Structure 1
Amino acid sequence: MQVLKFGGTSVGTPQNIRLVKEIVAEKSSHEATVVVVSAFSGITNKLIHCSKLAAKGDENYQELLNQIIQKHIETTQELISVKNQSPIMGQVRLLLNELEDILRGVFLVQELSAKTTDKISCYGEILSARIITYYLQEMKMDVAAADPKKFIFTDNHYGKANVFFQETNEAIHQYFDGSRKVYVCPGFLASALNGETTTLGRGGSDYTAAIIAAALNAPCLEIWTDVSGMMTANPQWVPNAYVIDEMDYEEAMELTHFGAKVLYPPSIAPVLRKGIPVYIKNTFKKEDAGTKIHGLGKKNGKIIKGLSCIENIALLNLSGSSMVGIPHFSFRLFQTLASVNISVILITQASSEHSICVAIDQEEAEKARVAIEKTFEEEIRQQKLNPLTIDMDLAIVALVGSNMKEQIGVSGRMLSILGNNGINIIAIAQGSSEKNISAVIQKNQIKKALNSLHESFFLSDIKRVNLFVVGTGNVGKALLKQLALQSDYLKEKYHLDLQIVGISNSRKMCFDEEGIDLSDPVAKLDQSTEKMDINNFLQRMISMNLRNSIFIDNTANESIAETYASILRQSISVVTPNKIACTGKYADYKNLKTTALRYKSHFHFETNVGAGLPIINTLNDLIKSGDEVMGIQAVLSGSLNFIFNNYDGKGAQFSEVVKQAQVEGYTEPDPRLDLSGADVKRKILILLRESGFEMEMDDIKAIPFIPDECMQAPTVDAFFDLMAKNEPVFKAKIEEAEKAGKKLKYVATYSKGKAETGLQLIEKSHPLYNLEGKDNIVLFTTKRYPEQPLVVKGAGAGADVTASGIFGDVMRIANTFREN
């Protein structure tokens, strides 16, 4: 005889019940079948809530009761033909009247015992089984109704009764004599030896089916639900979760204990003892193979078989000197919790026995606190024990798999993955069987934790990187174009999936957790109705709580730069060409660097100095390897280099060359920002700070070469007019250089503790002399390069090369994600 169990969703609507009928008809055509059914979807929750309202004297219980009544009457009317409705409708109304009378009594006395709760809560299963039995009979099937109160016997521990297996097994053998093809049995309920109604705990319908299957030595137990098997993780949290084809009993028990709701945890024990395989099947996709749970789960090559989590956890922490060396301390603690019927989910204790942490359901935290403080009242009063501390709003994330015991470093990898994504681990526990590693984390970090772990242990071939892009000007658009062009290549070659999940310009912003189409993200942004506000943008980014996240600031906005520290504290990395953050006060710069280290995030700003040139990375490599910077000479302004390479004092005037640079996009809209040398000061300051020197902007001397009256002009047009009038000044400078056989270059220098920027005459033998167009060049004189400086040279301006530098920083961070 085979046993099938159908969950609440499977019998949640008349249409679903018709699907159940098709499955039962097919299965029972080969072998006699016991069908265990749950209450209609959501009914048990409503019954319990209804009883609680009645116990409080709240008349709103009647409204909820009416919904329950209406659901069962409407389902009966839809399933059963009108001519045959009278008998079953009479039975349904009789049961509903009984339920109404019990709830009315609870309302009048305003008292709800555990025994009465059991009596009320099982009506959902009783009604469901009665309606389905009658429906199958009308469909001409050979069906009998089964009453579990006549063959499942328990103690009177109401709410979650303990089964007396010897008496139960004997009764099941006698009850199911095979005289009918199909038996329909309500799950969840049983009876104490005195005949009173008991229940097997929430989810107990699975347990009912397992008890019957084990007693009858069934060839298998099939659990029909709304998913195609047990999954690698809860798909509500992890969209990429997939069905596990096989697992062993212990793996299934671990996953169900830690929150996998497909199967009720105690259900494994009865079938495990008999070696009966369990199949988790999908009522709505009956062709799917589902998950097979049996004695020897298939070794699928994965270290971890699945991930699970329990929400709404409270962590009790008891510590103090009196714990040390006292053998009965732990006994007293757990005895206290047991005395008030509190189940312990996780335990962790320091080897010194100075502290012990216990995880329990958050709803029971106050009950636990009262009981523990009463038990240890004297020790707390004498200050031998510290007052009990309780952390709320926590969750437990668990890795489960039999293969873990054969693999070194799983727990270390788990901790590394969580830590690198900024997920703080409050407590950790691993069983001696090495089938489970559990970590207590903040509840609001569940999504990031599960997705990070799932990606690493199950989808490690492709690592997703979530990008939040602010700024879609020339550089931003160039970056977006490069991302789109390289997307497929990066997936194939480097197993990296770069997705833009948030994007904004100065006016609008939009978000899509699944990823914005890379072919034209700006078009998606243009369609958005969300107004851009940097604080709202950051709030949305943080609330999405995505793993492997990078914030890209393509602007020169000071207010956005001021947010970097708060972003890094969320373990979100920052990439930016914006120089403001790194050139403010040294203390602020240092804080950003230390914050990134502390929160396992990254702060990359290669494009702050030489656009796409690897100047900062080269410098960092020198410093990390133990080298020391002695001097720097650099042309760091592509715009100024362009200007002095194109001005010869004979053709176009200096003001005209500057105008050309402005038109071609080499300067800011107001060229004075470039000509003042302020940008070069910022760049050399960044290099000096990265070299390990504690310097401020005021420590760098800037030697002006533009007349003050030009720089003080009220408008840009007036500036150009005054520049034209001062042409003799610029012409004299270029003539002086030519007469000496040298070239004019705007150079930043550092030597012997002093830094300055300004025009210099460069001789032909110097590396700066032949610098072309808008190129940049940096010469590092170090202890290892004392005579012949290390030279980094190349294009130092332009949207495309700057975007490529940003892309490079993103890739450097993405590769660290890929390694985890």
Structure 2
Amino acid sequence: MQVLKFGGTSVGSAKAIEQVCHILKQYKPAGRYAIIVSALGGVTDKLIRCGQLAGQGQEDYKNVLLEIETRHLDAIRELFPITAQSGQISQLKKKLNALENLCDGIFQVGELSPRSLDKIMSYGELMSCVIVAEKLKQKGFSAACKDSRELIVTDNNFGHATVNFIATNHNIAQFFAQQPADYVVLPGFVAASNEGETTTLGRGGSDYTAAIVAAAVHASVLDIWTDVSGMMTADPRIVSQAIPISHISYEEAMELSHFGAKVIYPPTIQPVMDKRIPIWIKNTFAPEDHGTLIQDSADRSFPVTGISGIQHIALLTLEGSGMVGIPGFSKRLFESLLQERINVILITQSSSEHSITVGIHETDMLKAKTAVDSEFAQEIHDKRIEPLLVEKDLCIVAVVGDKMKNHHGTSGKLFGTLGRNGVNVRAIAQGSTEKNISAVINKADLKKALNVMHETFFETPLKQVNLFIAGVGNVGSKLLEQLQQQQNYLQNELGLQIRVTGLANSKYTLLSESGIGLNNWRQQLEQGNEMNIPAFVAQIKAMNLRNSVFVDNTASSEVAAVYHEFLQHGISVVTCNKIACSSDYSYYRQLKDLARRFNASFLFETNVGAGLPVINTLNDLIRSGDKVHSIEAVLSGSLNFVFNHFVNGTSFREVVKAAQDEGYTEPDPRIDLSGKDVMRKILILARESGAAIEMDEITNYSFLPDACLDAASVPDFYDQLDVHAQHFQELRSAAAADGKRLKFVARYEDGKASVGLQSVAPDHPFYKLEGKDNIVLYTTSRYQEQPLIVKGAGAGADVTASGIFADIIRSARL
């Protein structure tokens, strides 16, 4: 014999019931089938609402009754020809009249008891059962309808009755032994007490009915037909990449269903699991899909079968030195919760016995606080324990799998993944069978946590990275071009799916959780919100996306001032903006410490040398135990361009203007020519070498006259270059007379740093430095006789963007 259960959506409309008949035709005609049906989708909620309104003395319950009647009448009129409708409508009217009389009585009394509510709720299944059975008869099936209340016996715990399996199994076995029909339709969810009072089986009651019947008749299989194609690796409403689980063990299904997988409920599995009857979860509206088969064992290579979560959790912590070594505290805690009928979802206890923590539903936390504090009132008064600590706005995430116990590092993988994404774990629980690892986290982190967990355990080919980019000018636009160009390579070769989820310039901000198209980002950005940095930061944090990276392509001190907010939230920062790392040493140190503390990346390779590996090389030297003795460098591509092109017959103004037009200088060239930009760069290198140095400790041997530096505007600055043209010609001529070339050099040695214009001889490594190139010489304990040299293009939007791109990839792969 085979048992099939069809849920509320599977019988939710005339079309759906027709589909049920079609599915049943696919089964072997010689078999016998018990068919368990739920109420029409949404009807149970309407019945509950009806009872509540009647109990509150509100006549609106009559309108709800009318909606229920209309829903069923419409189904009958669509399913049956006119000649066959009268009998159906007559049966329906009898049930609806009884329901109306019951609600009228509740309205008169003004009280809705659990007993009355059970009776009201039962009508949904009782009505759908008759409709489905009659439709099967019309289709030519040998069908009959049987009231489950005549078979399933329970106690009087209305709302969640406990089944008397001895009496129930006897009734079911006897009934089916005598029933000639091949297809017997039974209402799910409903039962009756020994006294004949209607009871219900609680959440997932129709599934439970099906499991009870399947176990009683020793069914070959239990098919549960619903509106999804089986159990999924995660909730697809939260994790869009979730995939169906083809096979799963009973124990794994129990764990996942306990932790929120709503396809099936924990009590459903127990009766059939005891008899080792397979459960097949199928999709009524896609019957060709494989679905999920639940049975003894499942042969899979992955240690984790699925991930799930429970929302609206509160943590209760009982702690105090008076608990240590004293038996009975746990017993009293759980008894006090039991008396208030509070379900405990998670338990964890410190090995010192100083505290015990349990997880419950948030709706019960006030009752729990009152009950526990009352139970331990004397100990609290005597200061032996603290009043019960209650924390809310939490949730539980869990990974489930039979094979986890045979795979080392599953826990480390889980908590490492959460940590890298800034998800704080408040409590941990793991069963002794090692089939489940649970963690309590903030409710706001649920979506991000489930997605990164799924990515870690099920999506090894691709890791999704979410970018928030501030600054889309020369460098930013080149970066977006490179990202678009390299999408396929990143996915196919590095397993990275890099999405731009935020853009900002000085006027507008644009955020999109699903990603911003890189073909028309300019038009989209112009339709964005007005730029407001605090609001932009708050929105990014509120989105709480996994593997988030904030990219700063600006030169804004206001943007640099918010890096700490991102790092504290576990969002990595990649920047070519030198302001943060060259600001007060305390802020620089804070950012480095926050990145380490919150497992985020803080990468700024392009602060020095654009795309050159200047900082990474230095970091590698320091990490490997080398010691820096001195750093000598030409760190300004724009200044190198200027002095390489400042030859006889060319004015200094012309060369500077050409450098600006080529994009080698800042919009205000004085930032480059003053040496301030180079000061920032040598400061950053000195700090990365381990020096706690400030900007005002760097000596600047400026070559610009004060009148140039103090000019009121950029045009005025250019005018002053003409005024002081002779000064610049004399600098060039003096160097040329000695056979030397002018280079703006930065130096760090013995804890002191300086920048300034120097004349370098032909035998110096700087002499032949051409174009906009940068060069850095590291003299270290390992490189004393011959410095380590890093040389190459040190300016330009393309190379800077490529350096930022490299940092993004480095951050994503950490």
- TM-score, normalised relative to structure 1: 0.96
Report the CA distance shift for 1:441/1:490 in structure 2 as closer, same or farther (over 3 A).
same
Structure 2: distance between partners of 1:62 and 1:559: 62
1:717 to 710, 715, 718: 715
SS of 2:304's equivalent in the other structure is coil
Structure 2: distance between partners of 1:369 and 1:715: 67
Structure 2: distance between partners of 1:471 and 1:32: 69
Deviating more after overlay: 500-509 vs 802-811: 500-509
Structure 1: distance between partners of 2:98 and 2:383: 55
Specify the code of the residue in structure 1 equivalent to 2:593: T
Q: Do the aligned partners of 1:516 and 1:524 also contact (CA within 8 Å) in 2? A: no
Which residue of 1 is the match for residue 106 of structure 2? 106
Task: Give, in angstroms, the shift of residue 322 of structure 1.
Answer: 2.7
Which residue of 2 is the match for residue 805 of structure 1? 803
Structure 2: distance between partners of 1:92 and 1:664: 84
Per-residue CA deviation, residues 77-121 of structure 1 (Å, 9 max, x unaligned), is 333333332222233233233333333433443433222222222
Which residue of 2 is the match for residue 452 of structure 1? 452
Deviating more after overlay: 404-413 vs 79-88: 79-88
Report the CA distance shift for 1:590/1:384 in structure 2 as closer, same or farther (over 3 A).
same
Structure 2: distance between partners of 1:137 and 1:295: 36
Aligned: 1:475 with 2:475: yes
Task: Give, in angstroms, the shift of residue 66 of structure 1.
Answer: 4.0
Aligned: 1:245 with 2:243: no
Report the CA distance shift for 1:110/1:392 in structure 2 as closer, same or farther (over 3 A).
farther
Which residue of 2 is the match for residue 188 of structure 1? 189
Which residue of 1 is the match for residue 578 of structure 2? 579
SS of 1:106's equivalent in the other structure is helix
Alignment of 1:775-794 (within 5 A): 775-794=773-792
Specify the code of the residue in structure 1 equivalent to 2:611: G
Which residue of 1 is the match for residue 641 of structure 2? 642
Structure 1: distance between partners of 2:786 and 2:15: 83
Report the CA distance shift for 1:624/1:57 in structure 2 as closer, same or farther (over 3 A).
farther
Q: Identity percentage over the alignment?
A: 52
Which residue of 1 is the match for residue 669 of structure 2? 671
Alignment of 1:292-691 (within 5 A): 292-297=293-298, 299-518=299-518, 520-523=519-522, 525-526=524-525, 528-648=527-647, 650-691=648-689
Q: Do the aligned partners of 2:204 and 2:268 also contact (CA within 8 Å) in 1? A: no
Report the CA distance shift for 1:119/1:426 in structure 2 as closer, same or farther (over 3 A).
same
Deviating more after overlay: 155-164 vs 275-284: 155-164
Report the CA distance shift for 1:684/1:233 in structure 2 as closer, same or farther (over 3 A).
same
SS of 1:454's equivalent in the other structure is helix
Q: Do the aligned partners of 1:28 and 1:182 also contact (CA within 8 Å) in 2? A: no
| Number of equivalenced pairs | 813
Q: Do the aligned partners of 1:154 and 1:163 also contact (CA within 8 Å) in 2? A: yes
Which residue of 2 is the match for residue 127 of structure 1? 127
Deviating more after overlay: 552-561 vs 263-272: 552-561
SS of 2:75's equivalent in the other structure is helix
Task: Give, in angstroms, the shift of residue 785 of structure 1.
Answer: 2.6
RMSD: 1.8
Structure 2: distance between partners of 1:752 and 1:254: 63
Q: Do the aligned partners of 1:158 and 1:198 also contact (CA within 8 Å) in 2? A: yes
Task: Give, in angstroms, the shift of residue 430 of structure 1.
Answer: 0.8
Structure 2: distance between partners of 1:307 and 1:462: 18
Specify the code of the residue in structure 2 equivalent to 1:748: A
Per-residue CA deviation, residues 433-467 of structure 1 (Å, 9 max, x unaligned), is 11111111111111111111111111112222122
Structure 1: distance between partners of 2:792 and 2:616: 15
Report the CA distance shift for 1:377/1:10 in structure 2 as closer, same or farther (over 3 A).
same
Long gaps (5+) in structure 2: none
Structure 2: distance between partners of 1:49 and 1:623: 69
Alignment of 1:141-156 (within 5 A): 141-156=141-156
Specify the code of the residue in structure 1 equivalent to 2:553: N
Task: Give, in angstroms, the shift of residue 61 of structure 1.
Answer: 4.5
Task: Give, in angstroms, the shift of residue 509 of structure 1.
Answer: 3.5
Which residue of 1 is the match for residue 745 of structure 2? 747
Deviating more after overlay: 522-531 vs 339-348: 522-531
Per-residue CA deviation, residues 242-287 of structure 1 (Å, 9 max, x unaligned), is 1111111111111111111001111111111111111000001001
Deviating more after overlay: 168-177 vs 526-535: 526-535
Specify the code of the residue in structure 1 equivalent to 2:289: D
Runs of 4+ off more than 6 Å: none
Per-residue CA deviation, residues 539-570 of structure 1 (Å, 9 max, x unaligned), is 33223222111111111122222221111111
Per-residue CA deviation, residues 510-542 of structure 1 (Å, 9 max, x unaligned), is 334333344x25256357444443334333322
Which residue of 1 is the match for residue 276 of structure 2? 275
Report the CA distance shift for 1:13/1:507 in structure 2 as closer, same or farther (over 3 A).
farther
SS of 2:112's equivalent in the other structure is coil
Q: Do the aligned partners of 1:472 and 1:522 also contact (CA within 8 Å) in 2? A: no
Task: Give, in angstroms, the shift of residue 56 of structure 1.
Answer: 3.9
Q: Do the aligned partners of 2:503 and 2:525 also contact (CA within 8 Å) in 1? A: no
SS of 1:776's equivalent in the other structure is strand
Structure 1: distance between partners of 2:6 and 2:430: 34
Per-residue CA deviation, residues 100-154 of structure 1 (Å, 9 max, x unaligned), is 3333433443433222222222222222222222333333433211111111111
Specify the code of the residue in structure 1 equivalent to 2:805: F
Report the CA distance shift for 1:62/1:691 in structure 2 as closer, same or farther (over 3 A).
farther
Structure 1: distance between partners of 2:105 and 2:341: 27
Structure 1: distance between partners of 2:538 and 2:91: 55
Report the CA distance shift for 1:506/1:747 in structure 2 as closer, same or farther (over 3 A).
same
Per-residue CA deviation, residues 314-335 of structure 1 (Å, 9 max, x unaligned), is 1111112232222222122222
Q: Do the aligned partners of 1:503 and 1:525 also contact (CA within 8 Å) in 2? A: no
Task: Give, in angstroms, the shift of residue 657 of structure 1.
Answer: 0.8
Report the CA distance shift for 1:105/1:585 in structure 2 as closer, same or farther (over 3 A).
farther
Report the CA distance shift for 1:231/1:776 in structure 2 as closer, same or farther (over 3 A).
same
Task: Give, in angstroms, the shift of residue 58 of structure 1.
Answer: 4.8
Structure 2: distance between partners of 1:111 and 1:736: 104
- TM-score, normalised relative to structure 2: 0.97
Deviating more after overlay: 532-541 vs 54-63: 54-63
Structure 1: distance between partners of 2:442 and 2:62: 38
Specify the code of the residue in structure 2 equivalent to 1:563: V
Task: Give, in angstroms, the shift of residue 357 of structure 1.
Answer: 0.9
SS of 2:499's equivalent in the other structure is strand
SS of 2:314's equivalent in the other structure is strand
Which residue of 1 is the match for residue 706 of structure 2? 708
Task: Give, in angstroms, the shift of residue 658 of structure 1.
Answer: 0.8
Per-residue CA deviation, residues 291-342 of structure 1 (Å, 9 max, x unaligned), is 1111122x21001011111111111111122322222221222222222222
Structure 1: distance between partners of 2:196 and 2:483: 70
Long gaps (5+) in structure 1: none
